A = this chain, B = another copy of it.
Amino acid sequence: MKVFISTYPFGQVDPLPLEILKKHNITFFQNPYNRKLTPQETKEFANEIDILIAGTEDLTPLVETSSKLKMISRVGIGLDSVPLELCKQKGIVVSYTPDAVTPAVVEFTIGLMLNGLRMITFADREIRRGNWTRPVGKRLGECVVGIIGVGRVGMGVARSLVGFFPKKILVNDIINIDTKIQELLKLGLNVVYSTKEEIYQNSDVISLHIPLTQDTKNLITSKEFSQMKKKPLFINTSRGEIVNEIDLYFALKNELLSGACIDVYSKEPYSGRLLELENITLTQHMGSCSVDCRIAMETEASEAVIQFIQGKQLKNIVTL
């Protein structure tokens, strides 16, 4: 069984995930480019490998080409990069690590929220070019926070707001979240279920925590930005293609938004026009990039490979 680790970095924060493979005498090789692979590049390795430990790179060309791939172990939570239907047809087993990544994304999101509200990265840029402008922002405690998607991450974000007493938290999901709302109310949070339109209209902060699917692709366009009446801070740590980047550019340029914090892009590494703007914090798909979560995710992904080879039951198998 030959394993290809296409995600990068892997085994850098801690060698444990690689040691697990070595201990079981697994033959493996790692991404030779030390960056996210393009869809075409993933294909290069298609017929050499039995098992793939994957990041967020688009795996469609690889899976289409592959004749012997048996398993994909995704390091992380999103599955938009994996052609699940095709995997099912070809009998390729898919696992992922949704729990390991959540706490890191949650904290990162709150970090972006406070950062964007108080313009911390802007202030750092300003002082480094010799300006002392002391921007005045909003306090989370005086904000209505809209959370679209109350799965693991969205729920974690809501829970972590407990120390800040936001004025109100508006939550939306496509499934019933009554139990989750009850839990948040018990924490003392002022939570109200809302439609997406109500969230656009009434929030000072809007944060997306939904997967990329056919239904969510291009969900946020100029139409949605024009409904955001309170010039909110807009945050995306989920997937880039959920937001129309050109429309976001003009929403920021025309100050329909007070600001944005964007961690994910339709093409990564990102090098588009958002880089021209001052009222945005741009990070590098780093939601999962905390030491403990990298170790947990990578270790779980390696362990899933071992369990698969040994014919054991997988902890987080993906079923269509």
A130 in contact (CB, < 8 A): yes
CA distance A231 to B134 in the complex (A): 29
Expressed in whole angstroms, the minimum distance between the Cβ of A235 and any Cβ of chain B is 12
A159 surroundings in chain B (CB, below 8 A): 163
Interface residues of A in 137-183 (CB under 8 A from B): 137-142, 159-164
Chain B residue, CB-CB nearest to A113: B111
With A118-B289, A132-B269 given, is the CB distance from A103 to B282 under 8 Å? no
CA distance A285 to B114 in the complex (A): 16
| Interface-located stretch among A21-29, A76-84, A119-127, A310-318 | A119-127
Chain B residue, CB-CB nearest to A292: B142
A271 in contact (CB, < 8 A): yes
A303 in contact (CB, < 8 A): no
A207 in contact (CB, < 8 A): no
CA distance A28 to B53 in the complex (A): 69
A112 in contact (CB, < 8 A): yes
Count class of interface residues, chain A: 35 or more
A35 in contact (CB, < 8 A): yes
Contact between chains at A284 and B132 (CB < 8 Å): yes
By secondary structure, the A interface counts as: helix
With A120-B121, A120-B281 given, is the CB distance from A104 to B134 under 8 Å? no
Expressed in whole angstroms, the minimum distance between the Cβ of A183 and any Cβ of chain B is 13
Expressed in whole angstroms, the minimum distance between the Cβ of A108 and any Cβ of chain B is 6
Copies of this chain: 2
With A291-B139, A292-B142 given, is the CB distance from A114 to B107 under 8 Å? yes
A103 surroundings in chain B (CB, below 8 A): 139, 141
Contact between chains at B136 and A13 (CB < 8 Å): yes
Contact between chains at B107 and A164 (CB < 8 Å): yes
Partner of A281, one of B114, B124, B282, B294: B124
18 contacts between A and B (CB under 8 A): A107-B117, A107-B118, A115-B115, A117-B290, A118-B289, A118-B290, A127-B282, A132-B284, A134-B285, A134-B286, A134-B289, A135-B284, A136-B289, A136-B291, A139-B292, A142-B290, A162-B163, A163-B164
Residues of chain A at the chain B interface (Cβ within 8 Å): 9, 12-13, 35, 103-104, 107-108, 110-112, 114-115, 117-121, 123-128, 130, 132-142, 159-164, 268-271, 275, 281-286, 289-294
Sample of 16 further A-B pairs with CB below 8 A, known A108-B118, A120-B281, A142-B292: A12-B136, A107-B117, A110-B114, A111-B120, A112-B120, A118-B286, A120-B121, A123-B282, A124-B283, A132-B268, A134-B284, A134-B286, A136-B289, A136-B290, A141-B292, A163-B164
